[in-house]
Amino acid sequence: QRGDARYRRLTYPPTAAAAISGVSYVVGGGGGKAKTGVPNRITLVAREAKPDLQEVAHVDFDDDRVVGLALHPSEKLCVVTTSGGATHGCSYTDTELKKEFTTTTAKAGPDGEFPSQRAVAVGPKGDQVALGMGDKVVLWKLGKGATGLSDQRVLESAHKDPVKEIVYMGDGKKMVSIDDSSCVVWELPAGKRACLGKPGMG
């Protein structure tokens, strides 16, 4: 314990995290298991009576490094994106993590590299997932349980650089996506660009 903070040294470099509650969290990341032995995984972490955070459960993704994650607004489901072009749904309880589905959501380019899927968000109704796919924003329908993702819809081109973050606003009628140099507001469900902002604009 360090002041009022709780601490846990993980066996992998974390790249994404989300708070389930004030005492329970999901953390994900990795380091390339085959080459380094460092696991690619998400971890359920809890603040218990012991001084520091405790690792409660894991889900491993072999050689596919975790790059983003987001929680479902009403169900106990964590949506996880990995560097090999896949998106996974993992259910959780206070003591368990379980992979429910895996959907291929990106294809490798001519160079063999997959576009970044760092940005991921679940809509406020829980029936839609927004992903950054390189410099594009893609909407997917999210089914129940192990159904996974379906009905891909790529929005009009608006970003010049890889999308770094996506946030649904309020009741989900608008959504914001950002890259290194711009911010785009989208109107939903139409998926049309409402406005574009860049540094130095009025």
Taking only the tens place, the pLDDT of each residue in 29-77 is: 998 777 788 999 999 999 876 667 889 999 999 999 999 999 999 999 9
Contact, 6 vs 25, CB < 8 A? no
The helix/strand count (H/E) of the chain reads as 1, 16
According to the model, what pLDDT value does residue 160 have?
A: 92
Is-above-0.85 flag for pTM?
Answer: yes
Give the tens place of pLDDT for each residue, 94-110.
999 999 999 999 999 99
- The share of the chain scoring above pLDDT 70, in percent, equals 92
The amino acid present at 10, given as its one-letter code, is: L
Comparing CA positions, the residue from 132, 54, 69, 134 lying closest to residue 99 is 69
Mean of the per-residue pLDDT values of the chain: 91
